[in-house]
Amino acid sequence: MSLAPELIAPDAAGLRAAARALREGRLVAFPTETVYGLGAHALDADAVRRVFAVKGRPATSPLIVHVASIEAARALVTTWPDAAERLAQAHWPGPLTLVLPKRDVVPDAVTAGLGTVGLRVPAHPVALALLREAAIPIAAPSANRFTRLSPTRAEHVRDAFSRDEVAMVIEGGVSEVGIESTVVSLAGPEPVLLRPGVLDLPGLRRAFEGGPGAHAAPGQHEAHYQPRTPLFLAGEHLPAGRGAYVWHTTPREAAHTVRLPADARGYAARLYDTLHALDGGDWAWIALEPVPDEASWEGVRDRLRRATARGRVTD
Ligand code: AMP
Ligand code: MG
């Protein structure tokens, strides 16, 4: 058995050690308010390439670059339109990624060869403290293997990777937002929503409108966020065998039931954590009560569609 990544306390000594490891090109997982990130020095192309290798992530899927401030974001892009200033002022630090034309200092490895870079100032105090201590931009996708469930706790990361893949994980409790950031492109003539999250941003054109396959955002793979246990949206009948039913308004008869909050934000906050816990149990299947078809649930619906492998529904 290989060792799990070293678990680092989020104190001054821990953050110093993590920041040093990052500056030296090693990979460090850290908490953000969305999910735990697998961090690498964003301006070090070799470190960035290791992120793709360790995750098994296709090189065509760009990484989000995390920075400590608007000023640090502006240093990585060639334009900072009014819309960027407005959205950043309103939502940073927070679960919003802005896509803008990149400067040459940002390696092509980070952006999957695109001329744009996705930037975010995370709100988790440990993420912000790490960014300030390291004093470098940190490229970080979710700290899970490609297509698997995103981690919402340090132990999810330690279960997924070995120490020679990921040097350390900083302890930071449970991620409070619970699903990945909202992604908005400001690189074209009008702002475009590339990936929904928990933020309510009315009036944006949606790149993915028209359903699966229609979206223009790179790296938005259909099969994603998947537990090992077969996961379904519940139809009229539940599958045979001992399974778990996840509900938020109407319970049903099953070997095991889990209740999630009935509001979209509360549901998002518990979703991956609940699926991780159920995946560790011995259930033949997990079925989810369908969620409302309302704008506030768009981020959750997006993740459920991918997690259930192209919307598997029980009959
Ligand atoms: P993840 O790291 O898995 O949360 O995914 C990051 C997502 O952000 C990608 O899958 C893209 O959809 C989006 N993204 C990041 N950088 C860019 C970019 N330069 N252009 C467009 N989308 C981006
Ligand atoms: Mg991910």
- Integer Cα distance of 142 and 149 in angstroms: 9
Q: List, for the chain, all residue ranges whose pLDDT scores fall below the cut of 50.
A: 213-215
Q: What is the structure's pLDDT at 205? A: 86
Predicted confidence at residue 85, as pLDDT, reads: 98
Return the ligand 1 atom nearest residue 180 CA: 4
- The pTM for the full model equals 0.94
Atom of ligand 1 nearest to the CA of 116: 19
Distance CA 28, CA 130 (A): 10
∠ CA(263), CA(264), CA(265), 5° rounding?
95
Give pLDDT, residue 306.
Answer: 87
User: Up-side HSE of residue 256: CA atoms within 13 Å toward CB?
Assistant: 17
Residue 2 pLDDT: 86
Check the CA dihedral 39-206-272-220 and report its sign: negative
Q: In what side-by-side order are the strands of the sheet with 37-41?
A: 6-8, 168-170, 28-30, 37-41, 138-139, 64-66, 116-120, 96-101, 182-185, 192-195, 205-206
Cβ–ligand 1 distance for 111 under 6 Å, the answer yes
Ligand sitting nearest the alpha carbon of 39:
1
The arrangement of strands across the sheet holding 243-247 comes to 231-233, 285-288, 243-247, 256-259
Q: What is the pLDDT of residue 217?
A: 66
* Gap from CA of 224 to ligand 2 centroid (Å): 8
Taking the C-alpha atoms of residue 154 and residue 178, their distance in angstroms, rounded to an integer, is 13
Write the pLDDT tens digit of every residue in 217-265.
666 776 777 889 999 999 989 999 999 999 999 999 999 999 999 999 9
Which run of H or of E encompasses 244? strand 243-247
